[in-house]
Amino acid sequence: MLIFDLTDHFVKQVFVAKLHDHFVFMLLRFVLAAGASVGIAYLSRWHFEEIFLKLKSETKTKSFFSSMRSGSSHQIELSVPTGSV
């Protein structure tokens, strides 16, 4: 919502005298706000979230190998229901 508010302010300040058609105004507002939102999300993913995702995968790998060294076994048990249909 913040991006749409900023886009509204920008579009009204720059293009309000030139845009007389409401459809063009709404289309411009959507394209600018959607583009800015996707761009911010992309930058956030690669600059902020990637750090934590790397830490998460490192701790999972370390804990798995440390438990393997200590002798505990990781076994997956599958249960298949039996019975007639």
Report pLDDT for 29.
83
Residues 50-83: tens digit of each pLDDT: 888 888 777 766 665 666 565 555 555 556 667 6
pTM of this structure = 0.52
Domain region containing 28: 2-67
Q: How many domains does the chain have?
A: 1
- Say if 77 falls within a structural domain: no
- Say if 83 falls within a structural domain: no
CA distance 2 to 26: 16
CB 7 within 8 A of CB 29: yes
CB 36 within 8 A of CB 3: yes
Sequence length of the chain is 85
